[in-house]
């Protein structure tokens, strides 16, 4: 008895196996046949034949070729034909369409059977490899703004269930909510973090999205390896470091030393105003311009060659030097922002 059942199962599997070639869809599937005035042909009939022999062929209701149509295939009351699939082993076929009463509407003798460009058997082509698809928590950069199906912007707003009151409230957010709750404990949960991510989701709490506004991305200083020491402290996902400007400390300011210069024995000019008059000087002393109700008089303070003799210090103080001391101004912030190009970052639901 067991052997009999096993044989029956094997026979069933063999008979249900898909054909060796992919199926092609008849071009008039799901279309309406009507006259020149737009009146449909209810009950129109489509006949299918082998293009080379003219023998009738079997056509099918679905891509898997599991359920045959009757031949001819009939349109509905609105003149619309159902989906008709041709076995991929038929490279070319012929079809003839008539009214319900047999009047020929079209007769095409050689039609190529066009199916999918890849795949085996009657089933659909192989699906895309799962590792090639974006997964929950993946980040993408996009040249633009706005919303995109299946993604949310990394803008610091909140996500939650459809009744959570979050900025992005939808049942579609559950996978991302659970992922972020576990991946980054620095992300705030409105109402406080519960025991588990699932409990907070069930309690309709709101979770903040990562906030990447105005920030550049950098690799963690560890990433499963030892500390690189390039960005100290940037060791966990979601940590933030750096600033757009910094105040330099005294040790960071380049040293500017005072300097000394000497011009040998020399004097300095000096100006003096007396009773509204103008004064000027040159050489080694100073001149006084004096207005005293009479002619202007110029009195030289010293007209000789200045030296270090007493009384000559007004005009010339002998050989001497000048030391210049350079002080620092009040410090201001120094920009540390490199040339940067702005785009948007999104995270996969």
Got the DSSP string for 196-252?
SHHHHHHTT-EEEPPB-TT------S-TTS---SSSTT--STT-----SEEPPPGGG
pLDDT at position 109 is 86
- The Cα–Cα gap between 139 and 152 comes to 10
- The Cα–Cα gap between 220 and 238 comes to 9
- How confident is the model over 215-227, as pLDDT tens digits? 888 888 888 898 8
Q: Show me where the domains of the chain are located.
A: 20-112, 131-208, 269-304
> Comparing C-alpha atoms, which of 204, 134, 139 is closest to residue 174?
204
- The Cα–Cα gap between 207 and 168 comes to 10
Residue found by looking up tokens 């891509």 in the block: 63
CB distance 306 to 318 below 8 Å: yes
More confident site: 311 or 248: 248
CB distance 136 to 192 below 8 Å: no
More confident site: 231 or 30: 30
> Comparing C-alpha atoms, which of 129, 127, 150 is closest to residue 138?
150
- The Cα–Cα gap between 287 and 302 comes to 8
Q: What is the mean pLDDT of the chain?
A: 76
pTM over 0.85: no
- The Cα–Cα gap between 179 and 137 comes to 7
Least confident window among 48-52, 102-106, 316-320: 316-320
The domain covering 20-112 belongs, at the CATH homologous superfamily level, to Phage P22 tailspike-like, N-terminal domain (2.170.14.10)
Q: How confident is the model at residue 122 (pLDDT cuts 50, 70, 90)?
A: low
- In angstroms, how far is the first alpha carbon of the chain from the final one? 52
């Amino acid at each position: 008895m067991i052997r009999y059942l096993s044989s029956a199962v094997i026979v069933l599997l063999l008979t249900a196996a898909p054909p060796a070639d992919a199926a092609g869809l008849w071009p008039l599937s799901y279309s309406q046949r009507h006259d020149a005035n737009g009146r449909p042909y209810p009950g129109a009939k489509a006949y299918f034949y082998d293009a080379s022999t003219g023998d009738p062929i079997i056509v099918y209701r679905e891509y898997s070729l599991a359920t045959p149509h009757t031949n001819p295939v009939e349109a509905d009351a609105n003149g619309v034909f159902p989906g008709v699939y041709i076995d991929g082993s038929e490279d070319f076929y012929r079809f003839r369409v008539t009214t319900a009463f047999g009047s020929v509407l079209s007769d095409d003798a050689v039609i190529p059977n066009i199916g999918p460009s890849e795949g085996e058997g009657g089933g659909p082509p192989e699906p895309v490899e799962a590792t090639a698809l974006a997964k929950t928590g993946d980040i993408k950069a996009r040249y633009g703004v706005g919303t995109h199906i299946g993604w949310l912007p990394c803008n610091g707003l909140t996500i939650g269930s459809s009744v959570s009151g979050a900025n992005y409230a939808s049942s579609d957010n559950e996978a991302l909510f659970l992922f972020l709750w576990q991946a980054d404990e620095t992300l705030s949960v409105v109402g406080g973090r519960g025991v588990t991510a699932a409990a907070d989701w069930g309690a309709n709490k709101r979770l903040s999205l990562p906030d990447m506004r105005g920030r550049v991305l950098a690799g963690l200083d560890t990433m499963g390896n030892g500390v690189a020491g390039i960005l100290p402290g940037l060791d966990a996902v979601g940590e933030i470091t750096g600033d757009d400007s910094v105040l330099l400390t005294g040790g960071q300011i380049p040293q500017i030393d005072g300097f000394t210069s000497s011009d040998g024995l020399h004097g300095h000019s000096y100006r003096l105003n007396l009773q509204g008059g103008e004064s000027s000087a040159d050489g080694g002393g100073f001149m006084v311009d004096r207005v005293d109700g009479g002619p202007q008089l110029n009195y030289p303070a010293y007209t000789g060659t200045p030296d270090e003799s007493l009384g000559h210090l007004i005009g010339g103080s002998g050989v001497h030097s000048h030391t210049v001391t350079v002080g620092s101004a009040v410090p201001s912030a120094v920009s540390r922002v490199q040339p940067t190009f702005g785009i948007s970052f999104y995270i996969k639901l």
